[in-house]
Structure 1
Amino acid sequence: MQRVEIAFMRLLAGLSGISILVVFGVVFAGSVSRYLFSAPLQWSEEVAKYAMIYGCMFGVAYAYLQGKQITFSIVIDTVPEKFRRKISLLVDVATLVLGGILAYAGLIFAGKRGGIVASGIGIQMYWAQIAITVGGICLVIAAILRIISFFKAVPTGGEA
């Protein structure tokens, strides 16, 4: 199972990296075109924006899998060690549920407003808005992997 988690983390890291590469490449090309040739690329701002959204969605799941998400550590640090694992499991279950809600909400959003055509690049907004669903699915998969890891690493002292 650890191999699956590592492979998924690499996929998320790669997709995040590609998204950032697209953002930098498009912004650079747009800047060169605008300031060197006085001919702005009309589509560059929208492509960069959508690539950034996808990159954030992949990055959120990647950070969560690494345990580097934003936490209220002041609460966790005040709890006895035996309860920290239970709180961690509770956070993973909440992430699973909220990731599912996010994926579903993204589908509804893209379904209702996805037919609008983006003015700069001429594609339906569905392809940008479905990023919410993609991010939710990535969080669900990440939460499932963390929950499986939690139960595989149950301490021998009988506490869970």
Structure 2
Amino acid sequence: MKPLYKNFLALATGSSLFVVFAVVLTSSLMRYLFNAPLQWSEEVAKYGMIYGTMFGTVLCYLDDIHIKFGLLENGIPAPVKRLLNLLLDVIALGTGAVLAWSGYQFVLKRGGIDAPGTGLPMSVFQSAMVVGGICLFIAALFQLQSHFSRQQSKEEV
């Protein structure tokens, strides 16, 4: 299930990046070739980057390629490292829950506003916080599950 989730996140991250690329390219071509800029292009590109950041952050977390202190990580004993990784995953779980909840509250309070460029409700774009929080929460559950499955396999040996 975890590889399928990682593939989904990679597709979502790549799709967000493609949307940003396509919108910026189209807007540039329209502006310089036809002297008719797309009014909504900057807005869509900005929110595409935000969604891409949410998906990409979770993907980096799952692949363990996020920013970390290598000197600290390499200089500690393995049991302490396992404990710190477990703590990191518990913190990520809590952060995902808080991000999703605060994003939900933000959408409730400000989601009724329409975006000036596209005319779409801002809730479409502001929901990136909710989606990112839920994705991080799910990823942390996968990571925590892998901690406990590794412990069980060591105990069985």
* TM-score category, normalised to shorter length: over 0.9
Asked if 1:82 is matched to 2:79, the reply is: yes
Deviation at 1:157?
A: 6.9
Deviation at 1:110?
A: 1.1
Deviation at 1:79?
A: 1.5
Instruction: Give me the CA root mean square deviation.
Output: 1.3
Who is 2:149 aligned against? 152
Q: Secondary structure at the match of 2:141?
A: helix
* Rounded Cα–Cα distance in structure 1 between residues aligned with 2:97 and 2:148: 21
Could you report, residue by residue, the CA deviation over 1:21-79 in whole angstroms, capped at 9, with x for unpaired residues? 00000000000000000000001111111111111100011010000111123322221
* Rounded Cα–Cα distance in structure 1 between residues aligned with 2:69 and 2:103: 27
1:149 aligned partner, one-letter code: S
Query: 8, 19, 32: which one pairs with 2:5?
Result: 8
Q: Secondary structure at the match of 1:153?
A: helix
In structure 1, the gaps of 5 or more residues are none
* Rounded Cα–Cα distance in structure 1 between residues aligned with 2:140 and 2:69: 18
* Rounded Cα–Cα distance in structure 1 between residues aligned with 2:15 and 2:83: 36
TM-score (normalizing by structure 2): 0.95
**Worse-matched range after superposition: 21-30 or 67-76:** 67-76
Who is 1:135 aligned against? 132
Deviation at 1:153?
A: 1.0
Who is 2:38 aligned against? 41
* Rounded Cα–Cα distance in structure 2 between residues aligned with 1:127 and 1:80: 46
Asked if 1:30 is matched to 2:27, the reply is: yes
Who is 1:92 aligned against? 89
Matches within 5 A, 1:44-59: 44-59=41-56
* Rounded Cα–Cα distance in structure 1 between residues aligned with 2:154 and 2:102: 40
Who is 1:102 aligned against? 99
Runs of 4+ in 1 over 6 A off after TM superposition: none
Who is 2:114 aligned against? 117
The alignment-based identity, stated in percent, is 46
* Rounded Cα–Cα distance in structure 2 between residues aligned with 1:127 and 1:75: 40
Could you report, residue by residue, the CA deviation over 1:79-128 in whole angstroms, capped at 9, with x for unpaired residues? 11121111100100010011100000100111111111111000111111
Matched residue pairs, number? 155
Between structures 1 and 2, the one with greater helix share: 2
In structure 2, the gaps of 5 or more residues are none
